[in-house]
Amino acid sequence: QVQLVQSGAEVKRPGASVKVSCKASGYIFTAYYMHWVRQAPGQGLEWMGWIYPNTGGTNPAQKFQGRVTMTRDTSISTIYMELTGLTSDDTAVYFCARDLVAWQVRNYFDYWGQGTLVTVSS
Amino acid sequence: ENVLTQSPVTLSLSPGERATLSCRASQSVSSYLAWYQQKPGQAPRLLIYDASNRATGIPARFSGSGSGTDFTLTISSLEPEDFAVYFCQQRSNWPRITFGQGTRLEIK
């Protein structure tokens, strides 16, 4: 069965960086685009970008360009999302999510990680 | 940015009743719209994609309709486990993928 398991909660100071991991299992890791979506406390969902594990190619949302880096390690079927220059506005639960269809980007998300709470506080 | 506006913000219904949730886009998204269900402390769950296609394992009581700017998610007969928050999401104006602000479906 498809599983996406994310790293644990983080507490960071303003200006710091955070790196969240997402380990995939139960399917061909390189076949599916993977997305990052975040959700501020009590708020809606915000798409951050995708990475294609097959090539390592990425497409960050314009809002996060220059501040987010998405990478992957195919040897351990894991993707990473690093966000720099943290502010209190970055306090949120960060989710990884798999794209719906293999070998193409459809931008719908059918499997999700459990979420990683990142708290930015001085 | 294509803004998705969901209505109502909160919907209070009883089990067995029919639920109708709306999502309106500020620009046409053709049929490139999805619906998700989210329960407290959980990740969202994909229900519907391309406006009307049920995702794998989603019960037939969930259906989606619409195109262009106006979309509807219908739950034909509410089960206790259906009370949750529902989000719509568009992928038409890629790379600007956006979500609606959500409709909370609560037990009356």
pLDDT tens figures, A83-98: 999 999 999 999 999 9
Q: What is the pLDDT of residue B95?
A: 67
A5-16 burial: b if 16+ Cβ within 10 Å, else e:
ebbeebebeeee
B96 pLDDT more than 90: no
Cα distances from A4 to residues A106, B38, B104, in angstroms, run 19, 17, 26
Q: pLDDT for B1-51, tens place per residue? A: 889 999 999 999 999 999 999 999 999 999 999 999 999 999 999 999 999
Q: pLDDT for B50-69, tens place per residue? A: 999 999 999 999 999 999 99
Please indicate whether, in this complex, the C-beta atoms of A113 and B43 are within 8 angstroms of each other: yes
- The residue of chain A nearest to residue B46, with distances taken between CA atoms, is A110
> Nearest Cβ partner of B102 from A44, A97, A112?
A44
- Cα–Cα nearest to B99, from B46, B42, B40: B46
- On average, the pLDDT of chain B sits at 96
Residues of A in contact with B36 (CB under 8 A): 45, 109
B104 pLDDT more than 90: yes
- The residue of chain A nearest to residue B96, with distances taken between CA atoms, is A61
Please indicate whether, in this complex, the C-beta atoms of B46 and A110 are within 8 angstroms of each other: yes
Please list the ranges in chain A whose pLDDT falls under 50. Answer: none
